Structure 1
Amino acid sequence: MLSYCTNVHPAEDLRGVLAQFDRYAVPVRERLGADRLGLGLWLAADLARELAEDPAAVKSLRAELLARGLSVLSLNAFPHRGFHDEVVKHSVYRPTWAEPARLRYTEDCAVVLSGLLDDDVEFGSISTLPLGWRTGWTAVDDDRATAAFEDAQEFLADLRDRTGRPIRLAVEPEPGCVLDELPDTTRWLRARVDPDLVGLCLDTCHLAVGFAEPERAVSGIAEAGLRVFKVQISAALHVADPADPAAGAALAEFAEARYLHQVRELGADRVRFADDLPAPDLPRRGPWRVHVHVPLHLVPEGPLATTTEVTRRALAEVDRVFPDRPPHREVETYTWSVLPNRHRQDLVRGIAAELSWVRDNALAMHIGGAR
């Protein structure tokens, strides 16, 4: 079942989450003509803790979902809280996996997800950050993160044994983080994890920003003995000639105060990087990819483009490499409220259009039906 990620909505309490179901998710489902709609649910840390400590509340939330024709297969446990604050930037990477609060949040999410899954779902997935932001990360932090992953795996194994519902942790590489690209991530994980419990979340925007070859990147995951448990279907901005004044002016519209917009420039010898727009120190001699989650169906005016071709190739390669072990798939465009005004649209129409894009451009997936 294809899902959309609810981190696009700002609600951080239960009342707000239920309201977003009625205001957005149900109308999206109805607009698509689907009997069921999948959600990649985001629960802020305080709400995840509240629900984890109250099994009756989780049971009630599951009933609310079922009554609305909604299903939850996955949680997004990357943002801890405050994902729609006025300024987010680097705070989205805290707490890191070296801090106890990250493990606690992840365990709370696992407990909640195990109680929300439909009876016929094979497993639940939880996407999480790639340890933390790279700046200031130390060997001590790495040791603490290793220990936290050991504890997380023990918790997930016990939860699986008690409930019969496997919950799997999916680490999501992101530009600028400790685990920046897929090879970094697979090297770190393969030495530390049980691949039945911990694997990858493949964000196709992040993949594209690093100028990775999708086929090589996905096959490398399988070669490392790991699995893709979740794909976040997303697209980045592509700038063929960042030295073009028109490109600079168009790109400037996407520079905003809430989120980081990491930039990568493809050079003859290496990929250069900047941690945010406007990236004044990059030479502008090669094409840019920019970490802006742009709607999948968006066709920006030239000279900007998007990386949806990378998205298509990555999805096709996941289907080829993991034909009998399909991951969860969710659209994750959380940036609607900060897009340039001319690219915004009604959120229900926008989310439905993105899900339709996936249906039309990746024939192995569909809305509703088998998981």
Structure 2
Amino acid sequence: MRFRHPDGSTVHLAYCTNVHPAETLTGIHDQLAGACSRVRSLLGVDRLGLGLWLSRDVASALLADPSELVRLRAALERLGLEVVTLNGFPYRGFQQEVVKYRVYEPDWASPSRLRYTLDLAEILAQLLPADVAEGTISTLPLAWRTDWTPTKAEAVSRNIATLCDELHTLSSRSGKTIRVGFEPEPGCIVETTPQATALLPHLDLLGLCLDACHAAVGFEDPPDLTLPIVKLQASCALEAAPYTQSALAAYDEHRFLHQTRSASGFTDDLGEAMGGALPPGETWRVHFHMPLHAELPPPLTTTAPYLRGLLRTLLGGDTALTRHVEVETYTWTVMPGGPSDAAEGIAAELDWTRGRLAELGLKEL
């Protein structure tokens, strides 16, 4: 979905396909013809944007056989789908039975992470619509915070420098600009946007993927926007007011990591917080991506007001501060009381976001 900002630029709205457990080329094509096409139909739009997630194995298969990349592009066009952004954070196995800390592997000290990201850039340059010159890729914020050493930091710096050089080479060769956004997340080396400003290199073609859920869990108000915002991930965190945290028990599930923060403390996962590691007399925010349009039964709420404020900051002014917005609720499969048909929920989220963009003066194209 495309929108015209008052400054004349085009803002792209997509949803992230990491919610779908497809890690083969056949699975990707089934996903496009199935769930993705159903979301497009429910929205009643001619063209639906996807924040495509391609696992390491799928990316390798696409580059090993150029005809498969041609086939994928043709399928997108035939189905009324378009890709201007990729989610390059999960490497593989994102919807397996247990993910937790595995999602941060390999990190940016590893040549495998560099190679994967460069392969995604090559793929995206070939998938971009003919009338779109710039694509974006989101990636993890360097590494999980444990086992961080000076040697590891040096390896990260080398890999990021190579990344930037190779992105420039790709741009010259393909005529398409691919930008990479590092995504601050609680518990990682880069947890917040101020840390991103201090720790990430200020290099052309690099910037931030600003995840609204992560920023809300970090109680960032407002976030530091010193670095360019390559992409906004429209997402909401789960919130519990003081002494209501027992209602969070249903969200303490075993697949994903749910970092939890209050004004005075932090835990890697929700179960630790509920076990007494955080004070019950403070508001808790939980890294559990909630549907953007959700109105939860009391006493729980979401950080949707925070997301609305962030949309206003980035897109409500005279100039668009980002041009890619990706709805990223990947938790439908583990959500208590979630819909039997996730496509309906995804379509409702996109419709909610479309409404917020319209309120800010953006016109749907």
Query: How high is the TM-score relative to the length of structure 1?
Result: 0.91
RMSD: 1.5
Preserved contact between residue 359 and residue 365 of structure 1 (Cα < 8 Å): no
Deviations, residues 82-128 of structure 1 (Å, cap 9, x unaligned)? 00111100000000000111001001100100000001113000000
Aligned: 1:277 with 2:273: no
Deviations, residues 230-273 of structure 1 (Å, cap 9, x unaligned)? 111000011111x33xx31x20000100000000011xxxx410
2: distance between equivalents of 1:185 and 1:312?
Answer: 22
2: distance between equivalents of 1:202 and 1:322?
Answer: 20
1: distance between equivalents of 2:117 and 2:318?
Answer: 26
Q: Displacement of 1:323 after TM fit?
A: 1.5
Residue of structure 2 aligned with 1:351, choices 336, 339, 346: 346
The 1:106/1:359 distance shift into structure 2, 3 A limit, reads same
1: distance between equivalents of 2:257 and 2:361?
Answer: 30
Aligned: 1:238 with 2:249: no
Preserved contact between residue 236 and residue 291 of structure 2 (Cα < 8 Å): yes
Residue of structure 2 aligned with 1:166, choices 172, 177, 188: 177
1: distance between equivalents of 2:321 and 2:295?
Answer: 32
**Residue identity (%):** 47
For residue 249 of structure 2, what is the aligned residue in structure 1?
Answer: 252
Structure 2: gaps of 5 or more residues: 1-11
Q: Displacement of 1:343 after TM fit?
A: 3.3
Structure 1: gaps of 5 or more residues: none
For residue 7 of structure 1, what is the aligned residue in structure 2?
Answer: 18
The 1:313/1:111 distance shift into structure 2, 3 A limit, reads same
Deviations, residues 151-177 of structure 1 (Å, cap 9, x unaligned)? 101110000000110000010000000
The 1:208/1:172 distance shift into structure 2, 3 A limit, reads same
Q: Displacement of 1:75 after TM fit?
A: 0.5
For residue 114 of structure 1, what is the aligned residue in structure 2?
Answer: 125
Q: Displacement of 1:367 after TM fit?
A: 9.2
Preserved contact between residue 312 and residue 362 of structure 1 (Cα < 8 Å): no
1: distance between equivalents of 2:46 and 2:98?
Answer: 37
For residue 215 of structure 2, what is the aligned residue in structure 1?
Answer: 207
Preserved contact between residue 241 and residue 300 of structure 2 (Cα < 8 Å): yes
For residue 81 of structure 2, what is the aligned residue in structure 1?
Answer: 70
The 1:31/1:154 distance shift into structure 2, 3 A limit, reads same
Q: Compare 44-53 and 319-328 and name the one that shifted more.
A: 319-328
Tell me the matched-pair count: 350
Residue of structure 2 aligned with 1:48, choices 59, 68, 74: 59
Q: Displacement of 1:33 after TM fit?
A: 1.0
User: Secondary structure of the equivalent of 1:343?
Assistant: coil
Q: State the AA in 2 paired with 1:255.
A: D
Preserved contact between residue 133 and residue 177 of structure 1 (Cα < 8 Å): yes
Q: Compare 355-364 and 129-138 and name the one that shifted more.
A: 355-364
2: distance between equivalents of 1:146 and 1:322?
Answer: 35
2: distance between equivalents of 1:71 and 1:292?
Answer: 27
Any residues of structure 2 matched to 1:301-340 within 5 Å, and which?
301-320=297-316, 323-324=319-320, 326-340=322-336
